[in-house]
């Protein structure tokens, strides 16, 4: 696993189609939006505002997070630096590559976090101990 430069991680536009009659918007995620085939989809909801989710890194899995409703912060950590990105628009997503520690916090009331991932669940892909993560990435 190699060192990930956090400045290369940013919000990505998801195509948005606006209804000309004012009936709402539609966003579409197809092959050109993500650099991987989606193998698993899950979502977080009813998360108390003082709770923290995540708290791990992945060896291989890539993850694309979207705030379908409400907002939350994603704290990214490469073992040397930390960066916080707020997700609060359903037409913007955050692509998190493997080798990045992530924590989700500051959930607003009614927030829903959609996660599209590149792999099926495999516990051996997770690094759940921060000190182990730092040693793996050479921090």
Q: How many CA atoms lie within 13 A of 95 on its CB side?
A: 16
58 catalytically annotated: no
Cα–Cα dist 135/130, whole Å: 9
- Catalytic residue selected from 36, 55, 56, 88: 56
Could you give the C-alpha distances from 101 to 20, 23, 30, 63, 122, in angstroms and in order?
41, 39, 26, 12, 17
Find out whether 96 and 10 touch, Cβ atoms under 8 Å.
no
28 by Cβ neighbours in 10 Å (0-12 / 13-18 / 19+) ranks as exposed
- Alpha carbon of 41 to those of 65, 69, 77, 94, 121: distances in Å? 10, 16, 23, 15, 10
| Residues annotated catalytic, as ranges | 56
């Amino acid at each position: 696993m190699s060192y990930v430069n956090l400045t290369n991680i940013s919000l990505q536009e998801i195509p948005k189609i606006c209804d000309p009659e004012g009936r709402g918007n539609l966003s579409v995620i197809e092959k050109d939006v993500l650099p991987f085939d989606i193998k698993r989809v899950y979502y977080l909801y009813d998360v108390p505002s003082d709770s923290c989710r995540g708290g791990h890194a992945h060896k291989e899995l890539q993850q694309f997070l979207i705030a379908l409703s409400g907002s939350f912060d994603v704290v990214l950590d490469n073992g040397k630096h930390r960066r916080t990105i707020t997700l609060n628009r359903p037409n913007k997503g955050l692509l998190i590559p493997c080798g990045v520690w992530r924590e989700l916090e500051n959930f607003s009331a009614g927030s829903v976090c959609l996660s599209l991932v590149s792999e099926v669940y495999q516990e051996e892909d997770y690094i759940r101990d921060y000190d182990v993560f730092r040693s793996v990435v050479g921090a």
